[in-house]
Amino acid sequence: MTTHNNSFRLTDFGFHLWPSPYLFLVLQPFTIGPTASSSKEEPDAYLDGFRHVAEEARKKPETLKNTPHRSVVHKIDESTFDDPQ
């Protein structure tokens, strides 16, 4: 499973993970970035979503490999991206 599989699956539940500006420094980062105005329920909801996706990854990995299912998010072909190493 990759970060992209997980983030696409979370979009099916209405969550959005921001792209990290440090993609080439940290391999497969997650950035949820709650703000100071977020209620405690918002980060808790993210954690519940992460737990659900982690459980799916263990029991039904094909669900994550074929995401998104209920979202208009589109996958980008990243094979042409250059690694600035």
DSSP string for residues in the chain: --HHHHHHHHHTTT---PPPTTTTTSSS-------TT--THHHHHHHHHHHHHHHHHHH-HHHHHT--SS-------GGGPPP--
pLDDT tens track for 41-51: 888 888 898 89
Residue-level pLDDT at 55: 93
C-alpha 13/C-alpha 53 separation (Å) is 10
**Which residue is associated with the tokens 């589109």?**
74
Instruction: For residues 67-83, give the mean pLDDT.
Output: 68
Model's pTM, two decimal places? 0.64
